[in-house]
Structure 1
Amino acid sequence: MAHIQINDSHFQTLQDKVVVLTGGANGIGRAAVRLFHHNGASIVFGDVNDQLGLAVEKELNSPRAKFIHTDVTSYTSQLNLFRTAISLFGRIDIVVANAGISIPRDPFSFSSLDFSDDEAEIEKEFPTAEIDVNLKGCLFTARIGLFYLRKNRAARSKEGVLVSSIAGFKESTGLAVYTASKHGVLGLLRGVRVQAAREGVRCNAVCPWMTKTAMVAGIENGWRELQLPENEPGDVAKAILICATANRSLSISNNPNLNAEPQSQTGHPGATLPFTGKILFVAGGQSYEIEDKMNELEPLWLGRENSGVLEKGQEFLMREGTSWDTGKGKGKGK
């Protein structure tokens, strides 16, 4: 696990860059909108909360900040967000999939203790809005974002940032649907990072632990009694900006191999190039890269033989030209 030291001055490489961000009206998203704008970027941000979103736009009072009503569960709504950015600024350099919700009602905790006598509880379909917003919305953002980032051929560095959660890799009892959705975000990262890197787009994810937002109102008092670490929204915003700037103004390898040896230090000590396919865990205001160590230790937790065979299979699957589509890929090993 690498502790990444944030170099605030390196955020200045965002000057004149164009950012599209979802979920920017409050919490982590609002902090990120402010920080991108403060460092010279133009930002088009979406949210379903028009009142708060317009308040952020008014606060910034700048032609470089534009709020657009966006429902991330609607593909058409997200297309409108991205096309507005293209219309206003002509290109997109950075995409941040941040929109997320948590519903503090566990569909696996039944109110009736006598399951045999009362089936009314199981007849009620439970809400899946967390899947729709956190995962489906992220899928839409990633797909549309990668399309427009690829079109920006003049850019030397293009970034996609997915906001997951501690629940993306650890259990969160009582939040089963939320946990499934955030695990899915990391699955999306691992599913697109290699192909995206081949096309010049660096994709990374951020996994915040306890952060002072409206989502944690139900547990914050008990958390503080235990004196456990907390993040401010601005701490997580800085982790997002690490992902957006680590590859900028420095030598960038075109090698899509995520296990390649680091090429050089980035502007943020502790982060190494190529900064792609990384996962930043944010706790107590500090950022830690955890994916590289997970890969490094794979022979220990999976077994050396299993790890070796898996690596061979992964090399085949990541080979350019290999495709799961029977009518498209070569599908043959060498």
Structure 2
Amino acid sequence: MHDITLDPLLLGNLTGKTAVLTGGAGGIGTAIAKLLLEHGANVVVADLEHTRPIVETMIVDLPELVIANAGVMERTPVLDMDQIDEHGNLEESHEFCKVIDINVKGTMNCLRHAIFSMKGNQPCYPDGSRGAVVLVSSISGYFGGTGVSGYITSKHAVTGMLRGSQLVASQYDIRVNAVAPFVTPTAMAGGFSEAWQAKGLPINTTEGVATVVLTLAVNPAEKGSCYIVSGPILREVEHTQKLLLTEWLGEDLTRVFRDANEFFESQGGVSIAKVSLHQWPGGPPSLTRSTTLEQMFYRQPGSERPSKELIESTARAIASNAITLMTKACLSGLPHEVFPRLFIAGIIQYRQTQQNDPMVAKNIMLGTD
């Protein structure tokens, strides 16, 4: 277990640094901005999607410290089974999409822009590093007892970013760390932080979390670390996890993991295959004739003439899945001659599994040979 004692003198490394902070309009973000200014840093503050172009421009121009703090929590349960449309089908969770867009995509974009810009810096920290990035995660990035499944999912993704960025960031002498606060009285926490405190449970202050974030950022000894903050309790979790792998996984699997890490480091990471889409010989195929869905059904051996409702439901299924089917076929290297058969097979499979899908299209025409 890694107990952490913060060295207040480290904050002196902030003087003269230019810091870009996302999610700085309130709560922890505002506290971070104030502390940066108190220690002589130049601060660029942006908040969520309204200022995203500004953030990207400033990260390109003025990078030495980037803090990815912007984040939201869903306002309605992502796993709410009552969100159904007029046809009785479960609707997509727009709240979940928003959480992922801001907490995952936004954080990853911030991280990418930071590394891209910082890699051209001159060394600007005592350890010779060219820049520092802190990802503001959450205790939900490691545990999931709160039930806010969208937020938990997004913060687990931030933990993945911390781990997945180390190889590239190290190549450019950039330090990437994270902070995972427990309950902090902000607008996101709502009223439950008061009930939490009334139970005598340790609670953070925004100023306390800000101090942890900035001390971690300028500490040249920290790379790939994540500090869990719970009031006065401060623990490092990433390196602790590595030390406890044997107790967690056993000696045999731990040995496999360590050998695997050494292998991937020697290879410079996993080699991502470059897959090209199937190239049509001589251009796209000319279809000899087209048939309606009704005719396709009727032509299948042993099939009965389908009802109008079944034709319409199948039309919708094919319309929604055609791109996926074509992409999979292309990536698999299948010749174009089999494509019509894939559509027919999809019709038969859909007929067997779905009977009550509402109408979207009546007259889809498909080619067949």
* TM-score normalised per structure 1: 0.75
More helix per residue: 1 or 2? 2
> Conserved in 2, the CA contact under 8 Å of 1:104 and 1:175?
no
Q: What is the aligned partner in structure 2 of residue 292 from structure 1?
A: 239
- With over 3 angstroms needed to count, the CA separation of the structure-2 counterparts of 1:171 and 1:48, relative to structure 1, is closer
SS at match of 1:288: strand
CA distance in structure 1 between the partners assigned to 2:167 and 2:48 by the alignment: 32
Q: What is the aligned partner in structure 2 of residue 276 from structure 1?
A: 223
Q: What is the aligned partner in structure 1 of residue 41 from structure 2?
A: 41
SS at match of 2:16: coil
SS at match of 1:167: helix
- Would you say 1:226 and 2:199 are equivalent positions? yes
Query: Where does 1:107-256 land on structure 2 (aligned, <5 Å)?
Result: 107-111=78-82, 120=88, 122-123=90-91, 125-127=93-95, 128-155=97-124, 156-157=128-129, 158-247=131-220
Which structure: larger Rg? 2
Give the Å deviation of 1:80: 2.5
Give the Å deviation of 1:324: 1.7
| 1:75-112 CA-partner distances (Å, limit 9, x unpaired) | x45422424xx2xxxx4211111100112321213349
- Would you say 1:105 and 2:76 are equivalent positions? yes
CA distance in structure 2 between the partners assigned to 1:104 and 1:227 by the alignment: 26
Q: What is the aligned partner in structure 2 of residue 267 from structure 1?
A: none
CA distance in structure 2 between the partners assigned to 1:282 and 1:311 by the alignment: 28
- With over 3 angstroms needed to count, the CA separation of the structure-2 counterparts of 1:299 and 1:119, relative to structure 1, is farther
- With over 3 angstroms needed to count, the CA separation of the structure-2 counterparts of 1:311 and 1:110, relative to structure 1, is same
CA distance in structure 1 between the partners assigned to 2:25 and 2:205 by the alignment: 16
| 1:277-329 CA-partner distances (Å, limit 9, x unpaired) | 001000014422111111001011111101101111111112254442346xx
Q: Which runs of 5+ in 1 are unaligned?
A: 50-68, 248-272, 328-334
Give the Å deviation of 1:43: 1.2
Q: What is the aligned partner in structure 2 of residue 256 from structure 1?
A: none
Q: What is the aligned partner in structure 1 of residue 344 from structure 2?
A: none
- With over 3 angstroms needed to count, the CA separation of the structure-2 counterparts of 1:193 and 1:321, relative to structure 1, is closer
Give the Å deviation of 1:36: 1.1
Give the Å deviation of 1:124: 5.1
- Would you say 1:324 and 2:271 are equivalent positions? yes
- With over 3 angstroms needed to count, the CA separation of the structure-2 counterparts of 1:108 and 1:197, relative to structure 1, is same
Query: Where does 1:59-78 land on structure 2 (aligned, <5 Å)?
Result: 70-71=51-52, 76-78=53-55
The count of corresponding residues between Structure 1 and Structure 2 is 269
Q: Which runs of 5+ in 2 are unaligned?
A: 275-369
Q: What is the aligned partner in structure 2 of residue 80 from structure 1?
A: 57
> Conserved in 1, the CA contact under 8 Å of 2:227 and 2:234?
yes
The one-letter amino acid of 2:51's match is T
Give the Å deviation of 1:244: 1.3
CA distance in structure 1 between the partners assigned to 2:113 and 2:270 by the alignment: 21
- With over 3 angstroms needed to count, the CA separation of the structure-2 counterparts of 1:200 and 1:320, relative to structure 1, is farther
> Conserved in 2, the CA contact under 8 Å of 1:282 and 1:288?
yes
SS at match of 2:188: helix
> Conserved in 2, the CA contact under 8 Å of 1:278 and 1:291?
yes
Aligned CA-pair RMSD: 2.3
- With over 3 angstroms needed to count, the CA separation of the structure-2 counterparts of 1:120 and 1:235, relative to structure 1, is farther
Q: What is the aligned partner in structure 1 of residue 258 from structure 2?
A: 311
Give the Å deviation of 1:48: 4.3
SS at match of 2:122: coil
CA distance in structure 2 between the partners assigned to 1:169 and 1:39 by the alignment: 31
CA distance in structure 2 between the partners assigned to 1:124 and 1:293 by the alignment: 38
SS at match of 2:24: coil
Give the Å deviation of 1:161: 0.5
CA distance in structure 1 between the partners assigned to 2:16 and 2:54 by the alignment: 25
Give the Å deviation of 1:198: 2.4
SS at match of 2:90: helix
Give the Å deviation of 1:187: 0.2
Give the Å deviation of 1:144: 0.2
Q: What is the aligned partner in structure 1 of residue 290 from structure 2?
A: none
Between 1 and 2, higher relative CO (CA 8 Å, sep ≥ 6) is seen in 1
- With over 3 angstroms needed to count, the CA separation of the structure-2 counterparts of 1:159 and 1:110, relative to structure 1, is same
CA distance in structure 1 between the partners assigned to 2:269 and 2:6 by the alignment: 38
Q: What is the aligned partner in structure 2 of residue 330 from structure 1?
A: none
The one-letter amino acid of 1:153's match is Q
> Conserved in 2, the CA contact under 8 Å of 1:111 and 1:121?
no
- With over 3 angstroms needed to count, the CA separation of the structure-2 counterparts of 1:159 and 1:123, relative to structure 1, is closer
CA distance in structure 1 between the partners assigned to 2:71 and 2:21 by the alignment: 12
Give the Å deviation of 1:23: 0.6
CA distance in structure 2 between the partners assigned to 1:78 and 1:92 by the alignment: 11
> Conserved in 1, the CA contact under 8 Å of 2:177 and 2:223?
yes
CA distance in structure 2 between the partners assigned to 1:294 and 1:102 by the alignment: 27
- Percent sequence identity is 32
> Conserved in 1, the CA contact under 8 Å of 2:182 and 2:228?
yes
The one-letter amino acid of 1:319's match is S
CA distance in structure 2 between the partners assigned to 1:179 and 1:16 by the alignment: 36
